[in-house]
Structure 1
């Protein structure tokens, strides 16, 4: 299924002497063999990107905007193909896959318009007859690294603003989900950008990551991945002083205050927690529920979790798919068992789904009486685990919610506007949702603080990470 794609270098699809198997998380069988880049292939991709810097600049913002709109049109026309590939590679329900592709198309449309609005400014100088001009210029070649859990939206968040700014890209998608990025790159050909504007290499760390990080012509790297990988990338980027932007892990608190609309909260909390089988960096991990609502919340949450339909993402009836691989399944189960042994109560789930003979299916799981020191609470569980604890006072819960090295997203449910403002101001996170989990939108800046990352993707802020500021003083 990958034969028509492969590596994309200097405007052409290529095959390679070696391939890597892509496995289905549903059947545990091979989906296909994907071309695996050599270090020489990656260096050729960097060469191609470097050759595209000046042609992309000469297109101007309006020319690049037109190109991005053409790309978005092509992506929209191939929505069914892309959604199916997302579900095949990740196992997520087809409805979620379709929404992801739609959001990816929207990234290109948004940044098509931002390409026309890369503004500088003029500053009066104290030198007689002089003035300062502040301009924005593309940083140059970008290395983009993406994770497997959102194989369409993550590349789109990097490719669209980079191209809008005038930066050529070498994209390294996850080896577990390369086909979705390949479809996107194939759509980019419709933009009629200069050869080398976008390149794709898949393969081992030694053959892809290392050449990109060592090459001084790559002036910026962008990662969506784990905090551990991000820390290493920051260290490696220092050798050639590359700009970095990092969207890393999360451990989101979700506070249910005593004045919350319980039904409305449950309506969004359950699908948000179990979307993509919990493999979402902004998913609510730690549920803090006021003692007056605690019993009802746990009972109803558990009832709804137990009713979710597990299955192949290509089946329209499926509400939750499998975990991405066997190691993720093992880790999720270990987190649950540790919590139970430490005193948490298993309300529902807590084991591999017995009705499946193959696939990495784990039951939607609810743990109550969880304490803050349990791994289910203190670390990102990245699985279908809802860990629930009770609280009494507002000040207490805000302190507990902030007791994490992560700071990607945080949520609270309340009908009190003053409490909502206090929570928003106090919670340490790059994004805060009040009565909502809808934080990912092309027009809004997405990103975290502390160990959750650097920089922003989305919004007018998203293009800034691909621009350098140049100051000139002109005196007549």
Structure 2
């Protein structure tokens, strides 16, 4: 069963003040499975008041106690993983195994940030006079407004939520209307673990209305957004107008560079899994495959064999390894990208068509010899399509990898140590993983450069954007 989802404001689950709601649709069946409350301005004002009031006490709660409460939430999430996975699969479409892995991964993220709460160190600055002490400390910035997408309903929330709470901030999360049930269960775990009322507030509604109200509001001190580059630029500009701190994790178009000395079997297996995880609806999904001439056809054959072994269907069905896309718009966009590429000379190796019958399915698709003029080669195809071109020389591959304004993630496979070292220097991205898929770990930075945003939501640096420096100097008198 799928639960109707309410707002969580000041420690209470409640409907919208005006009674508004939105439909929640199962993307595998196109059936309405529930309702989510749609917040209006009155609900946002209540959340702002609650978060602002709670900040006064949460900010002075010791990091040790904050960490203990967070770890209790992590344990509750692990205990409830199977239940939450069922909710996520119904609303988002991903296979149960992937939904469960996302939930358990979120618990690891909470544990990581619980530890970071006790590592927000300051410093003493040596003074010029013997009777002066100069101290630098880190303090929570205040109320955070976080905006999260539907592709990883828990994972996208938990990074922002955990960092904020560990730092001593309070938060208002604008969750994804398409997939509201699993973020609500995440928040429920925190509430049941004993997080005080008002520290966490969860709202849903019309995205533009909520962001345009929360970002300029004087009670909000920091913004964190995950989503498309055009929306991110707009929200970053709005935050800048009001001198609000902002973390932006935006779109990508990740290149994959496979050199002739690479282990092709490992590369094909790992990249096929990464590309078609979550039906390709992943900001760091490997998408532009640049394969050296000598192994171009061989690698495509190996990769296509991995893709053909995927089983597409309802995520609740045993054996399903790739589910539907989240909605019809996304499927239509992928179909348009594929048709455009084929019209311009690309060849379909496998897939290439939308599914038949109910559900927003599109076949996992591999296109080779994709021309540079194809839209998908420059515009992010957020879905289950992999694009292939060949290259001859190192400089040619790196130039293409760096050509686009995006700089989120990149992948490479090679054995030559000098070449591997050069890739780390030359490929322009926030995250580069070589000879394995090692992205998205709580202890590692997660973020991009260029039009893919700024700031990180992983690693020891992630908590820094939720803290402000305070310098106190005093003389003995």
Does the 8 Å CA contact 1:2/1:33 hold for their aligned counterparts? Answer: no
Superposed displacement of residue 2, structure 1? 6.2
**1:189 maps to 2:191:** yes
Alignment of 1:9-20 (within 5 A): 9-16=9-16, 17-20=19-22
Does the 8 Å CA contact 2:26/2:93 hold for their aligned counterparts? Answer: yes
Superposed displacement of residue 190, structure 1? 2.4
Superposed displacement of residue 126, structure 1? 2.0
Match of 1:283 in 2: 285
Superposed displacement of residue 206, structure 1? 5.3
Does the 8 Å CA contact 2:149/2:156 hold for their aligned counterparts? Answer: yes
Gaps of 5+ in 2: none
Separation in structure 2 between the aligned mates of residue 3 and residue 358 of structure 1, nearest angstrom: 22
Match of 1:232 in 2: 234
TM-score normalized by the length of structure 2: 0.97
TM-score normalized by the length of structure 1: 0.97
Separation in structure 1 between the aligned mates of residue 373 and residue 166 of structure 2, nearest angstrom: 45
* Deviation per residue, 1:215-269 (Å, 9 max, x gap): 1110001011000110110111123211000100001000000100111111101
**SS of residue in 2 equivalent to 1:50:** helix
**SS of residue in 2 equivalent to 1:463:** helix
Match of 2:456 in 1: 456
Match of 2:128 in 1: 126
Separation in structure 2 between the aligned mates of residue 386 and residue 377 of structure 1, nearest angstrom: 10
Does the 8 Å CA contact 2:51/2:199 hold for their aligned counterparts? Answer: yes
Match of 1:113 in 2: 115
Match of 1:199 in 2: 201
Match of 2:273 in 1: 271
Does the 8 Å CA contact 2:58/2:170 hold for their aligned counterparts? Answer: yes
Alignment of 1:394-409 (within 5 A): 394-409=394-409
Match of 1:315 in 2: 317
Does the 8 Å CA contact 1:55/1:194 hold for their aligned counterparts? Answer: no
Separation in structure 1 between the aligned mates of residue 236 and residue 215 of structure 2, nearest angstrom: 10
**1:63 maps to 2:59:** no
Given candidates 152, 155, 158, the residue that maps to 2:154 is: 152
Given candidates 165, 168, 171, the residue that maps to 1:166 is: 168
Alignment of 1:315-464 (within 5 A): 315-354=317-356, 357-464=357-464
Given candidates 87, 90, 101, the residue that maps to 1:88 is: 90
Does the 8 Å CA contact 1:251/1:380 hold for their aligned counterparts? Answer: yes
Does the 8 Å CA contact 1:43/1:211 hold for their aligned counterparts? Answer: no
Separation in structure 1 between the aligned mates of residue 138 and residue 307 of structure 2, nearest angstrom: 49
* Deviation per residue, 1:180-215 (Å, 9 max, x gap): 110011111123122100001101135422221131
Given candidates 298, 301, 307, the residue that maps to 1:299 is: 301
Match of 1:244 in 2: 246
**SS of residue in 2 equivalent to 1:285:** strand
Separation in structure 1 between the aligned mates of residue 282 and residue 406 of structure 2, nearest angstrom: 14
Separation in structure 1 between the aligned mates of residue 62 and residue 389 of structure 2, nearest angstrom: 54
Separation in structure 2 between the aligned mates of residue 3 and residue 104 of structure 1, nearest angstrom: 21
**SS of residue in 2 equivalent to 1:185:** helix
How many residue pairs end up in the alignment?
Answer: 474
Q: CA RMSD in A?
A: 1.2
**SS of residue in 2 equivalent to 1:52:** helix
Separation in structure 1 between the aligned mates of residue 385 and residue 129 of structure 2, nearest angstrom: 63
Separation in structure 2 between the aligned mates of residue 2 and residue 387 of structure 1, nearest angstrom: 37
Superposed displacement of residue 58, structure 1? 2.2
Does the 8 Å CA contact 2:5/2:180 hold for their aligned counterparts? Answer: no
